[in-house]
Amino acid sequence: MARSPRALTLAAGVLGLALVPVGAELLNQPFYVDLFRRIMIFAIAALSLDLILGYGGMVSFGHAAYLGIGAYAVGVLTHHGIANGYLQWSLAILGSALVALAIGAVSIRTSGVYFIMITLAFTQMLYYLGISIEEYGGDDGMRLAVRSQFPGLLDLRNGTAFYYLVLAILLLFLLLGQRLVNARFGMVIRAARSNEPRARAIGFSPYRYKLTAFVISGAMCGLAGALLVNHTEYLTPEFMHWTRSGEIMFMVILGGIGTLMGPVLGAVVFLLLEDVLSAWTVHWQIILGPLLVLVVLFAKKGLIGLVPEEAPPGG
Amino acid sequence: MLLVLEQTLNGLQYGVMLLLMAAGLTLVFGIMNLVNLAHGSLYMVGAYLATGFHQWTGSFLVAVPLALAATLVVGIVVEVVALRTLYERDHLDQVLATFGLILFFNELVAIVWGRAALYTSLPGWLSGHMLVLPGVRYPVYRALVILVGLVVAALLYLMVTRTRLGMLIRAGASNRTMVAALGVNIRLLYTVVFGFGAALAGLAGLMAGPIYAVQPGMGEQILIQVFVVIVIGGIGSIRGAVIGAVIVGMVDTLGRAFLKPMLSTVLSPSAADTAGPALASMLIYMLMAAVLAVRPQGLFPVR
């Protein structure tokens, strides 16, 4: 069976990620487990965005909302003494799915720049809601008293176990995404993206398909939020700040829009870049900003575009 | 009753600032088809430059024209250096590139002026109160902001509908290829319109300085409310921007002032304390959703 360069890159990437805790142990640098766990959590968020952005053409500028809903589901339950992870994470997924359903139902009626602005505005609404609820910390946020509990199965306080759980979820979502975009459902979404009137003419109702994709994407991102708050052990409305949505979107574009590996690669490069630049200067954003402009202007297909899709003939 | 009048004036004052922002944003979008997230950065730059010039010259009156001119220049430089290549790109690229500009400008002002909020003092003749009605006093400066906003809006309307530049702007909005074919330098026209929009944002920013805190990121909060304004009004529509701005300014200000006391008449005080501010900050977004549910293209769509 011929292996394409992209499949090889994917295999190498997964192997690399799987070996991070081992390497960190050898180098006695537990910090790397933390860094790459954070990277993978954002990779999940970026992947969920790319499902609707890259395949569905829906420029959602509010994906941070679901990150926030997922985080608040965990944070709020913990605050009230319920630390059961099954319950928390189910609520995170269900809650963000419901919010995505509400936001999507309104925004998908519109398109283009209206869609961008509306998703942005709704997320900002949730952000201000988070800020104004004093009981859950208001704009100061609050500490997560204890990480989600999975008695008998897994202890998230063990950093390495948590790391492999995140990796497993990322792989699961990659697989799920692969099945989804190549299924009939994914084909309809992609058809609606390239020519919506034609998709309608051949008998599909794109609205329902797009809304379903929007909800699936929101639910995936909600789980990423539940992971993120367990990672930071701190709940803050900043999860929902609109610049967060911009960063997630940048990861997708940087890595390569409309591919499954692209967002993951984008998250890795973006967050490593952030790590390196912020170690170098506190004003790292003054470098990142123009860099973003340059990437948009000159690297249309993203980093994944550098890896050829098919093996060269005869190779 | 007096409080209602005062808050209505505050709503109007916020509305005219939103209007100055919305006019520039909607012109740039309507004519150049450019989604410019960095519009809020120009507002912030205007506020910082006014504060900076004020401290430097010691005179508010001198600082205002200097800051306006400087924001105009910043706008033109941004257009020529970064945005010019984006007109033909899709909206996603524009959103990302201008998002990059926001990061750049926020960090730039943080480097020059620091991250802490600046507070500008007003000259004595502007810092007092004036009598609006018998028994109703209102800050002179806020009244001036309302006046300036209304005058600028009127001038803008006259310029767009009555002057040659306005004619070109309207023509460029409906068919840019044709305008270019008729021998109009469309590149220059775009630069002029963008610089003009930047100056309007700068004006809103420099007037905001003495009322709100001047700090990095101050442009984003208003930017998102301006989005709500132009989504409600209809993108590219000046008339929609005017009416949307007044509606959003009023709803937001009055909601923040009166929702909590109104809720406390039906809810327990503690529930009202929690729900009031939360609902107030969400009010304009609910309004937007309601408008869109009825009219997906906004209240006054362009044709």
Instruction: Write down the ipTM of this complex.
Output: 0.82
The answer to whether the CB atoms of B231 and A242 lie below 8 A apart is: no
The continuous run of DSSP H or E covering B137 comes out as strand B136-139
Chain A positions in Cβ-Cβ contact with residue B293 (cut-off 8 Å): 106, 109
Place of tokens 């979820």: A169
Pairwise CB contact (< 8 Å): A283 & B289: no
Q: Is A120 on the interface with B (CB under 8 A)?
A: yes
DSSP classification of residue B266 = T
Please state, rounded to an integer, the average pLDDT across all residues of chain A: 87
pLDDT band at A100 (very low <50, low <70, confident <90, very high): very high
Residue B16: what pLDDT? 93
Query: What's the pLDDT band for A315 if we cut at 50, 70, 90?
Result: very low
Other Cβ atoms closer than 10 A to B24: 30
| A129 in reach of chain B (CB within 8 A) | yes
A112 to chain B, closest Cα gap in Å: 7
The pLDDT confidence band at residue A231, using thresholds 50, 70 and 90, is very high
Per-residue pLDDT tens over the stretch A203-225: 788 888 899 999 999 999 999 99
Which candidate in A108, A113, A194 is best for mutational testing of the B interface (most B CBs within 10 A)? A113
Average pLDDT over residues A52-63: 89
- Residues A62-77 have pLDDT tens digits of 899 999 999 999 999 9
Predicted confidence at residue A118, as pLDDT, reads 86
pLDDT at A312 exceeding the cut of 70: no
d(CA B182, CA B180): 5
- 3-state SS of chain A? CCCCHHHHHHHHHHHHHHHHHHHHHHHCCCHHHHHHHHHHHHHHHHHHHHHHHCCCCCCCCCCHHHHHHHHHHHHHHHHCCCCEHHHHHHHHHHHHHHHHHHHHHHHCCCCHHHHHHHHHHHHHHHHHHHHHCHHHCHHHCEECCCCCEECCCEECCCHHHHHHHHHHHHHHHHHHHHHHHHCHHHHHHHHHHHCHHHHHHCCCCHHHHHHHHHHHHHHHHHHHHHHHHHHHCEECHHHHCHHHHHHHHHHHHHHCCCCCHHHHHHHHHHHHHHHHHHHHCCCCHHHHHHHHHHHHHHCCCCHHHHCCCCCCCCC
**Contact status, residue A227 vs residue A212, Cβ threshold 8 Å:** no
Inter-chain CB proximity B296 and A59 less than 8 Å: no
Token output for A300 = 């249309």
The answer, for A140 touching chain B at a CB cutoff of 8 Å, is no
Amino acid in position B201 = A
Q: Using the beta-carbon criterion (under 8 Å), do A132 and B110 form an inter-chain contact?
A: no
pLDDT tier for residue A3 given thresholds of 50, 70 and 90:
low
Query: What are B190-217's pLDDT values in tens digits?
Result: 898 899 899 999 999 999 988 888 999 8
Q: Which of B85, B281, B289 sits opposite A297 (nearest CB)?
A: B85
Q: B224, A59: Cβ pair inside 8 Å?
A: no
Q: Which one of A60, A124, A245, A300 would you mutate to disrupt binding with B, by most B Cβ within 10 Å of its Cβ?
A: A124
Interchain contact, B104 vs A106, CB within 8 Å: no
Tell me the nearest-neighbour CA distance from A100 into chain B, angstroms: 14
Terminal Cα distance for chain A, rounded: 12
How far is C-alpha B291 from the geometric centre of its chain's CA atoms? 21
Cα A285 from Cα A35, distance rounded (Å): 19
B292 with A118: Cβ contact below 8 A: yes
Indicate if the pLDDT at residue B77 is higher than 60: yes
Write down the pLDDT at residue A70: 95
Q: Which residue of B has its CA nearest to A136?
A: B274
**Is the per-residue pLDDT at B174 higher than 80?**
no
Q: Which residue reads 């902001």 in tokens? A: B145
% of residues, chain A, pLDDT over 90: 39
Residue in chain A nearest B227 by alpha carbon: A117
Residue-wise pLDDT for A82-96, tens only, equals 888 899 999 999 999
**Host H or E run for residue B132:** strand B129-133
pLDDT over 50 (residue B180): yes
Highest mean pLDDT among A10-24, A61-75, A294-308, B128-142: A61-75
Q: What is the dihedral of CA A21, A87, A75, A126, to 10 degrees?
A: 110
pLDDT beyond 90 at B278: no
For residue B42, which of B121, B116, B88, B104 has the smallest C-alpha distance? B104
The predicted pLDDT at position B201 comes to: 94
> pLDDT by residue (tens digit) across A117-175?
889 888 988 998 888 887 888 888 888 888 888 887 888 888 889 999 999 999 999 99
pLDDT at B303: 62
What token pair was written down for B184? 């109009």
B35 contact partners, CB below 8 Å, separation of at least 6: A113, A116, B29, B91, B94, B95, B98
Confidence of residue A51 (pLDDT cuts 50, 70, 90): very high
- Chain A neighbors of B97, CB-CB under 8 A: 292-293, 296-297
pLDDT single digits (tens) B18-58: 999 998 898 888 888 888 899 999 999 999 999 999 989 88
